[in-house]
Amino acid sequence: MIELKTQSDMDAIHENGRVLCSLFDRLETWMEAGMSTWDINQFCEDYITKAGCFPSCKGFEGYPAGTCISINEQVIHGIPHKEKIVRLGDIVSIDIVCDRKGNFFADSTRTYIMGEVPDRTRLLVRTTKECLDLAIEAAAKPGARMNDVSGAVFEHANQNGFGVVRDYCGHGVGFGIHEDPNVPNFVSPFAQNLKLREGLVIAIEPMINMGTHKINTLHDGWTVVTADRKPSAHFEHTIGITKNGVEVLTQM
Ligand code: MF3
Ligand code: CO
């Protein structure tokens, strides 16, 4: 069931989304090679808590930390560890959800490039960000449907020769972390292709692989990696559909 949001709901989600945005901006300069993903998680949890929010991943379906930090071949849901060190040449996806008093969840992800990486890796990260931007543009057009969003991601990634993860999707968000509808990053003939109505709040999150789209889950039960162990990038924004197009709720 899809629960539409009022403008004041969206404003409240946006307030939490701004916390995420400023945290992600801060990480651009604060995060350095040599830090553990545990240190980075701690910094993020403190930042969110000081802003009066809660890092919603903590405890969600038993997940043990306030952020997901996924390096290189890790696609999503990397669990922060003291022994997992970020190194020069890595790409690091940080996926964070925050809420206030159990409501108005905002969900966003950025992939950071640590120092020098091969050109193709840089292209992967740039293309993934472009997939997100194109999807948001598609959602903003009058009369837009879900397939416009899904197709924008898939076409751009595919044109660059990258694999598009199918087993995980974007999602409705706001009153909970994961709500209806699903927001796929590819178009299937079985997609219901719903019309994007005013009041719909969704997280769009392309997960794009250097190699094939195939993924595996590690024995920790969480970490999703590419089947071919080639790198993967991930960007995400929470957006609200309004009368006039879209509001990106995880931007300032
Ligand atoms: N932002 C994540 C997603 O959309 C939420 C992660 S849930 C967690 O999948 F439990 F893994 F943290
Ligand atoms: Co999400």
Residue 67 CB neighbours (<10 A): 26
* Atom 8, ligand 1: residue with shortest CA distance: 57
Q: Which residues line ligand 1 (CB under 6 A)?
A: 57, 60-61, 63, 68, 77, 95, 97, 107, 177
| 215 neighbors 167 (Cβ within 8 angstroms) | yes
Residue 52 CB neighbours (<10 A): 12
> Residue 212 C-alpha to ligand 1 middle, in angstroms?
22
Structure tokens at 60: 């969600």
* Atom 6, ligand 1: residue with shortest CA distance: 57
Q: How far, in Å, are 49, 223, 244 from residue 34 at the CA level?
A: 25, 21, 45
pLDDT of residue 121: 98
Ligand nearest 93 Cα, by number? 1
User: Tens of pLDDT along 184-210?
Assistant: 999 999 999 999 999 999 999 999 999
User: Tens of pLDDT along 69-103?
Assistant: 999 999 999 999 999 999 999 999 999 999 999 99
* CA-based nearest residue to 234, from 202, 204, 210, 205: 205
> pLDDT averaged over the chain?
98
User: What residue ranges define each of the domains in the chain, with the CATH number in brackets?
Assistant: 7-248 (3.90.230.10)
pLDDT of residue 212: 98
The residues facing 69 across adjacent strands are 94
- Ligand 1 atom closest to the CA of 67, numbered from 1: 12
* CA-based nearest residue to 191, from 156, 226, 157, 153: 153
Q: How far, in Å, are 29, 78, 190 from residue 164 at the CA level?
A: 29, 19, 17
pLDDT of residue 208: 99
Mean pLDDT by 10 residues, the chain (252 residues): 98 98 98 98 98 98 98 98 98 99 99 98 99 98 98 98 98 98 97 97 99 98 98 99 97 98
pLDDT of residue 169: 98
Structure tokens at 43: 């910094």
